[in-house]
Amino acid sequence: MASAWWNLLGAAARGASAVTRGVTGAALAAAHNWPSRGARMGLLGPWDPPPSPSAVQAGLWDYRGVARPQDIASAPLDLPLGRLIDPKAWRAERAFGLPAGVANQHTCVLGPTRSGKTASIVAPWIHAALRQGQSVLAVDVKGRDDLLGEVKRHSAQVGVLGVPVIKWDYNDPARSASWNWIAQLDGDSQINAAVEAVCGRVSPSDPNKFFHQSAIKYLRGLLLLAPAVPGGLDLGRILRLLDDQTALESLVTGHRSHPGAQRLIELTGLSRGEFIKHTMELRTHLETLDTQGFLSVTQRDQFSFDVLHAERPVLVIVSAPVADGALGDAASSLFLGQFLQRALTGFGPVGRPVLLVLDEAARVQNRIDLGSTLSLVAGVGVSSLLATQDVSQFQAERRDEIMANCGNLICLPRVSKASTDFLAGRLGEMAFPTVSSSASASWGPMGQSWTRSEQRGPVLGHREIASPHPALGPWPGVVHCPALSSRPILVDLTRPDLAR
């Protein structure tokens, strides 16, 4: 029916008068009695003819730009994304997912709170990656084993894996692995990553840049010097040195030619007031981490990143609740930053792929150079799954680089206009057929003539992404995965175990 309307409209444009009268009737009928099942429900798919102006005004959902099944390259469904919605029958039947090689181009999920980022995507991907033999490093942004609980709930439905779980949780030291981050630092890049995680990256617009840069320099000096200090340095000892000018001066003068001491030399011979002023910023950053829990999970040298590449895949969960503020931000950045540096320099001969799951990804943007690191780690087998509520949570100057390194983008319902604009920008525009009518007396009595033309417009609009038509199910998503289709892919992410 739809294609008949389409063809007839084509004929109308060519101006064949006998046919045209029929066309006019057909078009009018179609404008009032929608030709396809979807159109009757108020949504248009790629097979539907152009809507009449009155139908557009009535507010239908326009999904004419989405991928049809034949537009999607077939590939293994390694990382699940629910089921494909067929934009003709508007039913979701075939399972859908991304192949591991495509997920290695990194993926960003945009969705506000309670939109299903964790239940629909994060937990199923963690399970699937482990089942395929990848290790997983994930950040739990809620704490109290929330993420592990979600993964276990999903596993109970699709198959328990029996994979070892290691958690690093400063809120639960008794059940946490201990990681002596200072003792494990090896080389400039690891030290620099640790310093940026603790002090934050320098922003050119920061009016207090001088003190920030000084804090970075002094922490770098102390961490470089740590192996040379009898008994080593830990966070508590560093804080005591920053309180005890005499002890710091004797440490520095005792190692005068050491590159670490040279970064601290300007702190010697200062008046007490100047010393406090110069060390204040570093002390503030370190005090963020100076909690009993953090000290206790960084005391012993028990956890090593090599475990991610051991004989069996492993799930490592870093518990760093957003509610903990700067402590959670700094601790998770420290752990992730060290992981990424080690991944870049190679873990050794056994290279096991790793899925890095970073919920609330924007919280680390000022402490980890996510943009450039993501581009580099893909080549060493690290695939990232970033989740954030809104694309504008990434600062304007960092957003482009971070998002440019996410080959795949998934938008969940209720995303902001900024997020849908971002997706729409990626999708671009396409030519859609339109019909317009005009009063005409060219075929005898006064009548209406219908003209078919093409109009360029966004592939998908804000409403179609943020407030999808109910026919798409209760948990729909829009997937942009250029490796599989240039058009956006509609998926139904409903988990029957949760929907019951």
Ligand X SMILES: Nc1ncnc2c1ncn2[C@@H]1O[C@H](COP(=O)(O)OP(=O)(O)OP(=O)(O)O)[C@@H](O)[C@H]1O
Q: Which stretch binds Mg ion (CB under 5 A): 99-107, 113-121, 237-245, 448-456?
A: 113-121
115 binds, among Mg ion, ligand X, none (CB under 5 to 8 A by kind): ligand X
118 binds Mg ion (CB under 5 A): yes
Q: Which two tokens stand for residue 132?
A: 């395929």
394 binds, among Mg ion, ligand X, none (CB under 5 to 8 A by kind): none
32 binds, among ligand X, Mg ion, none (CB under 5 to 8 A by kind): none
Backbone angle region of 90, left / alpha / beta, with phi > 0 → left and psi within -120 to 50 → alpha? left
CB of 149 to Mg ion, least distance (A): 12
CB of 441 to ligand X, least distance (A): 57
389 binds Mg ion (CB under 5 A): no
Question: Of 117 and 285, which CB lies nearer to Mg ion in the complex structure?
Answer: 117
115 binds Mg ion (CB under 5 A): no
120 binds, among ligand X, Mg ion, none (CB under 5 to 8 A by kind): ligand X
If binding means CB under 5 A, how many residues of this protein chain bind Mg ion? 2
CB of 138 to ligand X, least distance (A): 13
Question: Of 138 and 459, which CB lies nearer to ligand X in the complex structure?
Answer: 138
Q: Which stretches of the chain bind ligand X, using CB under 6 A?
A: 111, 113-120, 475, 493-495, 498-499
Question: Of 108 and 119, which CB lies nearer to ligand X in the complex structure?
Answer: 119
CB of 203 to Mg ion, least distance (A): 28
CB of 116 to ligand X, least distance (A): 3
Question: Of 117 and 167, which CB lies nearer to Mg ion in the complex structure?
Answer: 117
CB of 491 to ligand X, least distance (A): 10
111 binds, among ligand X, Mg ion, none (CB under 5 to 8 A by kind): ligand X
Question: Of 141 and 225, which CB lies nearer to Mg ion in the complex structure?
Answer: 141
Q: Which residues bind Mg ion (CB under 5 A)?
A: 117-118
